[in-house]
Chains A and B, each alone.
Chain A
Amino acid sequence: MINVYMPKKVEILSIIPQTDIDYTFRLKSDILPRHGQFLQVSIPKIGEAPISISDYTDEYIELTIRKVGTVTDAIHELKPGDFLFIRGPYGHGFPVEDFKDKNVVIAAGGTGLAPVKSIINRYYRNPKEIKNLNILMGFKSPKDILFEDEIKKWKEKFDVLLTVDNGDETWTGNTGLITKFIPELKIENPNDTIVIVVGPPMMMKFTCLEFLKRNIPDENIWVSFERKMSCGIGKCGHCKINETYVCLEGPVFNYTKSKQLLD
């Protein structure tokens, strides 16, 4: 009988600091997840936590992890050559096959950029797969910006709008919440536009509402939820909302479903 709770040991190939508290861990792995899926990541004697996969190739996967709790604090102590323990990938990802030849808008808040980074890079490598890509990114402050090098790269091919809630004296870019910029966004054909929204709960709620005001149909909006999980496979109950298990039916949900998830 397969023991689904037994994790696999994987080597940390490199660690790329993004901010003071967000590091990207590149792990040796041949897992090929769907964009938006997550892993249960652990260190024996510390614990286990669900972490979304921020990028992957057939030789490695990347996890961008913020230092916010017991498990992630311990992960941040590790060095290249050390090992992490993983189970997964779990959950449903974004149905990118359905996004072909569409206009795609990705709105990401803070670490919410991590679960969609692999999609952006997919389109960076294959820009003809969709009509065009519009990326909106919001961070608390300039020091919280993730993936700065890649953002520069994305700007070559896509419309990228980067904003911070609060700038500092050196900041010359946009300030304000993502929602402030949605009314000005160029959306030629709402019915032909796919919107992906990932970020903190409040950000996702109000960002979705702004896109609805721009006549994007409910079924064209996709979100990704964060919930506590102990198993990732529909047993432990922590991620349950109504009869829906975020680990099984999510973390990626269509807005038509997510708006019914009352919690």
Chain B
Amino acid sequence: MGIELDVKSFDDALKILSKDYKIFAPIRLKGKGAFSDTDLVTYGEISSYRDMELSEKSRYSPKEVIYPITQTLFYFTEDEYKEPEIDNKGIIVFLRPCDANSYLKLDNIFLKNGPYEDNYYKKLRDKVKFFVIECTKGFSTCFCVSTGSNKFLDYDVFFRFDNDKITCDVKNDEFSYVFSGKEVEFTPEFIEKNEIEVKLPDVDKISRNIEYVFNHELWDEYTKRCIACGRCTVSCPTCSCFSMQDIFYKDNPKCGERRRVWASCMVDGFTDVAGGHSYRQKYGERMRFKVMHKIYNYKKRFGTTMCVGCGRCDDVCPEYISFIKIVSKVTDAVER
């Protein structure tokens, strides 16, 4: 059973929730796009229905809500270290099923990989409530069905936004008191077919042909085309790599902070080691590393494909390189 809401009752609910939660959703930033006179659709805090941008795919994903671009790990003074305090409020994220699934992919790295949980990630992640946005059509570069990320059932509240008619299914009782309206029959729907279908390569087949795939000429094209700008990894909801950065304050060089900042396997310096040696200097080698991580290596390690099929990497590449086409080429190569 669902609940039908009008815009006012939805906004009233947000107002109540905002006392205890920070609420994030896709928003439109006028004139902030990559090109002149274009807008940027990205994630940000909202306080009303009108703040949400639901007609366009966000260029950046909601990952920065739980994994900020720059995050201070601790401040240091001459004789002490201090971890930054975090907000007491919970976190609500309005997101589509692919992006909700991307949180589970990040969990594997930050919470399950290695002997330790990443406490900075965990503190934010534990606060998250999933307000899933129904997505039945997707966008032109989406392929979530192919990656199995079209569904997300573990939501707290599920929303259908049909122009100004809002219907929701409240699964988490914690939120039942805020959403009140007419009870209606409602079954959440998920996208069943994207415009694009991508055949992912079979992991066992790659394993059997790993050297063939690894040395395949298909990667050479990207040595020529890719400019190693890293846009694909910045827009990706599942990319999780970071570097450490120490800074000190100009007016008191004895005090400063250690931060982590997003890093990218596509950009220079990612693999540098002492003495000037580095790995994967060719851009095609970096592309191979990234693509294989998304569709093969991660799956071998965690049992699930890393890519969630949001297609943002294809949307943002300034060289019009298509991840989708690369995956198809890899599949063709192993199916030979």
Contact = CB atoms under 8 A, between A and B. Distances in A.
Interface string A233-245: 1111110101101
B52 interface: no
A201 B277 contact: yes
Contacts of A5: 73-74, 119-120, 258
Interface in B33-76: 73-74, 76
Contacts of B7: none
B246 A47 contact: yes
Nearest to B113: A234
B83 A235 contact: no
Contact of A3 (B83, B246, B289, B293): B83
Nearest to B300: A243
Contacts of A201: 277
Interface residues of A, number: 39
B177 interface: no
Given A44-B258, A45-B253, A3 B119 contact: yes
Interface in A216-263: 226-228, 230-231, 233-238, 240, 242-243, 245, 247-248, 260, 262-263
B171 interface: no
User: Counting chain A CB atoms within 10 Å of each CB, which of B244, B245, B260, B298 scores highest?
Assistant: B244
A235 B110 contact: yes
A260 B300 CA distance: 14
Contacts of B240: 235, 237
A247 B114 CA distance: 9
A3 B73 CA distance: 9
Contacts of B265: 237
Interface majority SS (helix, strand, loop, mixed), chain B: mixed
B109 A235 contact: yes
A227 B241 contact: no
Contacts of A235: 109-110, 113-114, 118, 240, 242
B280 A263 contact: yes
B230 to A, nearest CB: 13
A201 B276 CA distance: 12
Given A47-B246, A240-B293, A228 B272 contact: yes
Contacts of B270: 228, 238
Contacts of B292: 242
Most chain B beta-carbon neighbours within 10 Å: one of A44, A201, A240: A44
Contacts of B73: 5-6
A173 interface: no
Contact of B81 (A6, A47, A226): A6
Nearest to A249: B114
Contact of A243 (B245, B279, B297): B297
Interface of A: 1-6, 42, 44-49, 66, 68-69, 72, 200-201, 226-228, 230-231, 233-238, 240, 242-243, 245, 247-248, 260, 262-263
17 contacts: A42-B246, A45-B246, A68-B275, A72-B274, A227-B271, A228-B270, A233-B116, A235-B109, A235-B113, A236-B263, A237-B242, A238-B243, A238-B263, A240-B297, A242-B292, A242-B297, A248-B115
Interface of B: 73-74, 76, 81, 83, 109-110, 113-120, 122-123, 210-211, 214, 240-248, 253, 256, 258, 260, 263, 265, 270-275, 277, 279-280, 289, 292-293, 296-298, 300-301
